[in-house]
Chains A and B, each alone.
Chain A
Amino acid sequence: MIVAEGLTKDFRIAERRPGLLGSLSTLLTREYRTVHAVDGISFALRAGSKTAYIGANGAGKSTTIKMLTGIMTPTSGRCLVNGVEPYRHRRENARAIGVVFGQRSQLWWDLSVPDSFRILRRIYAIPDAVYERNLALYRELLDIDALGTTPVRQLSLGQRMRAEIAASLLHDPKVVFWDEPTIGLDMVLKEAVRELVNRANAELGTTVLLTSHDLSDIAAICDDALVVDGGRVVHEGTLTELLGRADRRSVVFDHRGGPGPLDAARGVEAGLPGATATVTPEGRIRVDYPAASLTSRQVLGFLLDRFELTDCYAPEPDLETVLRQIYRGGVPAARNGGGA
């Protein structure tokens, strides 16, 4: 559904020198520096997938999405959305996609939300049944009627984002590109937005590509993850696989009798070299250990041997930890097979 092949975008940036002399010299001789915003990335996302597009600031996420939505042409390489090159067939591509660019509105600034929707209905030639069904859905989940007849420019960020989200799905697009879609939304609305896109995916097979600073958005919506770092793909596969790449594992346990929590923790650290043990606010003990030097078998065996366990579980490595590790360069750039 979405394919990128050696997709590259370079920008030429004019070098400026500081000070008056500097700006005078820039007038005469311009020096340019080339920045590789996207550096030959390739990936393939299948139809109906829900993929989180993850990368640190400046990793080229927005640039890639701009190329996929047809706003920008690549320097080299190409991408295909729904079988067409977006920047070459922009209008054809526009019919098939829905877009949210976080803070930047795409609605008719001077018009009310209902008026914007009526225009979208015309522009996309949305069938009556589809339009009514979607509007009913937005009434139920986003309380879209509450926005009333206020011009978009006077709406608050949260109100406007609800309208932006609805507008991006109104014409039942085959693919949605959501770049920071939940900015300014409270917990209830975030929940509603997630449900909305999950329903569209389940009922219509809508393909989703999402970027978000809110990792709980990613966890609630996406099955797959595409991680870019330094303009290159460092992970393409399921979210679960991504989490599995964490280099540390954890176990949390509770025990009866024996030493107090602090002594128990000290005892764990002494018995398992490389592991750290901390007491959680609930009075449990959390053991973090490097997956490279200790196996789960070793750790659990040690705990069963030493303590009379009353409760024990192994929390999944969380996304934040994994990502922090990837950005630090802890996980080597490698491509997992899945996803395509």
Chain B
Amino acid sequence: MNRTLGGRLRLALFLGGVGLHRLAAYRLDFLLGSGAFLVRVGLQTVTVGVVFSHVPAVAGWSYHQVLFLLGCALLPRGLDHLFTDQLWELSRKLIQRGEFYRYLIRPVNPLFALLSERFFHPDGIGELLVGLVLVLWSGAELGLDPTALQWALAPLLVVAGALIHFSVKLFFASLSFWTVTSMPALQTVTQVSEFAGYPLDLYHASLRTLLTWVLPFAFTSYAPAVYLLHDDTGLLRWLPAVTGLSLLAALALWRRGLSRYEMTGS
């Protein structure tokens, strides 16, 4: 039953159900996890508020526009966080402690088996909630009136952004097949992704290039935000290619890592 796409989807849904069930069972853990991220992104929002209590615009962006961008950044990050958090464990300890083998003894795709362990991770819910509130509220304040096309594309943009986050994470987590642990690298990349929470126009050109073409976090927030705010598709045109290439690069490295693991067993 797992060979067909439908079978896999059913299994994924089932795992989601188990994840939800877990939320109910360990309420304190859940509240602490998603609450912590709620606090963090909440304070980030407050920071933006403080900035704009002193100036009307920053780098040509108004208060509500920056909040809208922040919301756009949080949605894909939260979505990715919800499903792929186990990649942190891969980078941290699964190779180091020899626990990775367990994904190879199941009759399902090893990547799927890996992610299944933290499917529906509650920590992402805080980010998703704040992101949703920010996008809706600041969108309303800005009097945003999206076209039918923008409405249709919006969810796809969130999914594409989540896929980019997932790709970057998978790429750097897969390095652990060679380096045993790659947690520090993943931490650094995550810190870099924080840049995507503010307008790219704030940054030096070299940093903009880095965020657009090397670690393409600009496509998770800035590109969708300028499209939805100003109908600016300059960067957005590249989104499908960037998403596809990121995924391909990450999956290729993952596969190479996997076959290396089969060779060396460590």
Contact = CB atoms under 8 A, between A and B. Distances in A.
Q: Is chain B a partner of chain A in the same complex?
A: yes
Interface of A: 11, 63, 66, 69-73, 87, 90-92, 94-95, 97, 99, 101, 104-106, 108-112, 115, 118-119, 122-125, 149, 151
A108 B116 contact: yes
Given A119-B15, A125-B1, A95 B263 contact: no
B144 interface: no
Given A123-B11, A123-B108, A110 B117 contact: yes
A112 B263 CA distance: 33
A87 B104 CA distance: 10
A125 B2 contact: yes
Contacts of B237: none
Given A63-B265, A115-B21, A118-B14, 10 more contacts: A69-B101, A71-B265, A73-B262, A90-B104, A91-B107, A91-B108, A94-B104, A104-B98, A109-B117, A124-B107
Nearest to A103: B98
A123 B118 contact: no
Contacts of A149: 25
Contacts of A112: 25
B255 interface: no
Chain B contact patch, size range: 20 to 34
Interface string B1-45: 110000000110011001001100110000000000000000000
Contacts of B265: 63, 66, 71-72
Contact of B105 (A71, A73, A92): A71
A101 to B, nearest CB: 7
A95 B1 CA distance: 12
26 contacts: A11-B264, A63-B265, A66-B101, A69-B105, A70-B104, A71-B105, A72-B262, A72-B263, A72-B265, A73-B262, A87-B262, A92-B107, A94-B105, A94-B107, A97-B105, A106-B101, A108-B116, A108-B117, A109-B117, A110-B118, A112-B25, A115-B21, A115-B22, A118-B18, A119-B18, A124-B107
A264 B192 CA distance: 85
B205 to A, nearest CB: 35
B101 A101 contact: yes
Contacts of A101: 101
Contact of A115 (B10, B18, B99, B104): B18
Contact of B116 (A72, A105, A119, A151): A119
